[in-house]
Amino acid sequence: MANQTNMVVLVDEDDNKIGLEEKMAAHSNGGRLHRAFSIFVFNSKRELMMQRRALAKYHAAGLWANTCCSHPFDGEAVAAAGHRRLMEEMGFDCELTEAFSFTYHAEVGNGLTENEFDHVLIGRYDLPPRINQDEVEDWKFMAMENLVKDAGDNPERYVPWLLIVLPKIVEWARRNIR
């Protein structure tokens, strides 16, 4: 059996587990629906912590993304996976709250497709991260209005899933971040 880090949890449209598949296979041939999470960490100025994906990533290399994204291991709770990956990629942890979930389907380059049931986790943190340079090329805090404008003007700078979820995050932040 493959190493757990190379497997994703296949799910149905209601996020019920229907199997496991090797990560690259699940992202090939149009992509199979699998469980994922996206973390959005805001500071006290209501700015979003962004990461620029490492240049060696297997897809969307060098593009700007939200704070952290990944897949939970089989049997691992989404929140626990979020805390694990936040530490592994960004070098810090914070309280995370699930804001909403959604499904999306997007081509991500190199012949790969994301087809994810994505759990959106929100956190708050004000300090600089300690990035893992195998995962993250760079980082910055960005005001939501600046992100919306730049993503509209320069979508090629951003990962496809961020462009898809951005309107939902803007609405969530408008209602929930004070």
Q: Which two tokens stand for residue 170?
A: 């803007």
Distances (CA, A) of 130 to 76, 91, 134, 161, 171: 24, 5, 12, 24, 29
Which residues, 6+ apart, have CB-to-CB distance to 111 below 8 Å?
28
Range with the lowest mean pLDDT among 9-18, 26-35, 64-73, 130-139? 26-35
- Nearest CA to 86 out of 123, 61, 47, 32 is that of 123
pTM of the model: 0.94
Q: Running DSSP on this structure, what letter comes out for residue 129?
A: P
- 4-176 fold: Nucleoside Triphosphate Pyrophosphohydrolase (3.90.79)
**Catalytic residue among 21, 69, 89, 94, which?**
69
Known catalytic residue: 13? no
**Catalytic residue among 21, 89, 114, 116, which?**
116
Known catalytic residue: 68? no
Would the pLDDT of 145 be above 50?
yes
Would the pLDDT of 49 be above 50?
yes
CB atoms within 10 A of CB 95: 11
